[in-house]
Amino acid sequence: MILCDFHTHSNNSFDAENTVDEMCRAAVRQGLSAIAVTDHCEAPYIVYGDDCEFGSFDKQIPASLRDAQAAREKYRGELDVFCGMELGEPMHDPKQTERALQYGDFDFILASVHNLRGLDDFYYMDFSAVDLNEILCAYFDELLETASFPYFDSLSHLTYPLRYVYERTGSVPDLTPYLPRIEAIFQKLIQNKKALEINVSGLFKPMNTTLPPQELVSLFRRMGGQYVTIGTDAHRADMVGKGVKEGIAVAKKAGFTHYTLYQAHTPKLIPLD
C-alpha cells in the first residue's frame, strides 16, 4: 500500500509547531512515500501583512516553499516532498487570492472555507446562538462558489463546521436537506476535474469520521468523481500520516480504485491496494 499525506502544516502556519524537516522525518518514520506541505494562506488577510493575526503570509508562504524545496532535495529517493498551500476563503478576496498564487511554483493547492464572510472561524462559533440551518446553507453555498474557482486542485475538509457542531452539541444534523447543495458542489468539482479531499483529522476528534464522511465520499464516486486526495491536516509531526490507511479504506469502500497526488497541478493516480 502506497501511503501519501497531502495535507500537512509546518511552523510556517500560525497554528503549527514543527519544521518542514521534522514533518518529513516523521513521514519517513511512518513509512509514507510522499507528503505535501500545505501551509495556511487566508486570502482575505494577506493584505494586513505583519499586522495580520495569522502572521505575514508574504513571509510565511515563501518560507514554506523554500523549506519544502530544501526538503525535496534532502529526502530525494526516500520521500517525495511536494510544495502546496491551503488557500483559505479564496472567494472572499479574489485580488489577494491572485496574489497568493504568485508566491511561487506550487504542486498542489487546497481550497478551504473556515469562516463565512464577516464571521469568525466555525471554531469560535456559539452554535446555540445562531440558526444552524442558515449557517450550513451559507457554508455549502460558499463551497459551491469555491468549486467554480479555477486555481485549486482539491476541495478541503467539506463538512468542516460539523466538527465543531459535534464538539459543542454532541450530535450533527441530518445532512439530507443539504444534499441538493452538496450534489451541486460535487457536480461542479467533477465538471472542472477537481479532487475532493478525504480529510482524516476528524477520526481523531470526538466526531470520529472523515471530513466529509463515508456516505458523501460514496456519493461523489456514484456521481462520477474521479479524483480524491487524502490528508491528515497534521499540525504536529506526531500526526503526520496518521489515519491515511483509514482514508484509503473510505476511498475503497466508495468504489475508488486510486487516490491522487499532484505534481505541478497534474494528477497522478496511486493504487489503493
**115 sits near Zn ion (criterion: CB under 5 A):** no
Cβ atoms of 7 and 197 within 8 Å: the answer is: yes
C-alpha cell belonging to residue 99: 496574489
Which is closer to Zn ion, CB of 112 or CB of 210? 112
- Which is nearer to Zn ion, 13 or 30 (by Cβ)? 13
Q: How far is the CB of 7 from Zn ion (least distance, A)?
A: 6
Q: Rounded CA gap, 106 and 262, in Å?
A: 10
Report CA dihedral (121, 123, 128, 132) to the nearest 10 degrees. Answer: 60
CB of 247 to Zn ion, least distance (A): 14
Q: Using CA atoms, how far apart are residues 173 and 125, in angstroms rounded to an integer?
A: 16
- From the list 57-65, 86-94, 188-196, 237-245, the region that binds Zn ion by CB under 5 A is 86-94
Instruction: Rule CB under 5 A: say whether 11 interacts with Zn ion.
Output: no
Write a three-state SS string for 138-203. Answer: HHHHHHHHHHCCCCCCEECCCCHHHHHHHHHHCCCCCCHHHHHHHHHHHHHHHHCCCEEEEEHHHH
Q: Which is nearer to Zn ion, 80 or 197 (CB)?
A: 197
Size of residue set near Zn ion by CB under 5 A: 3
Site string for Zn ion, 21-60 (x = CB under 5 A): ----------------------------------------
Residue 140: count other Cβ atoms within 10 Å of its Cβ. 22
Give strand pairing partners of 271: 258
Query: Whole-number minimum distance, CB 110 to Zn ion, in Å?
Result: 7
Closest approach of Zn ion to the CB of residue 77, in Å: 28
Interface mask (CB under 5 A) for Zn ion, residues 176-215, using x and -? ----------------------------------------
Q: Is 233 in the site for Zn ion (CB under 5 A)?
A: yes
Which residue in the set 11, 97, 112, 260 belongs to the binding site for Zn ion (CB under 5 A)? 112
| Binding span for Zn ion by CB under 5 A among 128-136, 169-177, 226-234, 247-255 | 226-234
- Residue 166, C-alpha cell as written in the block: 459535534
DSSP, collapsed to helix, strand or coil, labels residue 35 as strand
Beta bridge partners of 199: 211, 231
The DSSP code sequence of 72-125 is: HHHTTTT-EEEEEEEEESGGG-HHHHHHHHTSS--SEEEEE-SB-TTS-BGGG-
| From 23-31, 107-115, 140-148, 183-191, span contacting Zn ion (CB under 5 A) | 107-115
- The length of the chain is 273
Grid cell for residue 69: 524545496
**For the chain, how long is the longest CA-to-CA vector?**
52
**Closest to Zn ion by CB, 10 or 112:** 112
92/223 with CB nearer Zn ion: 92
CB of 39 to Zn ion, least distance (A): 9
Residue number, 179 or 204, with CB nearest to Zn ion: 204
Binding site for Zn ion (CB under 5 A): 86, 112, 233
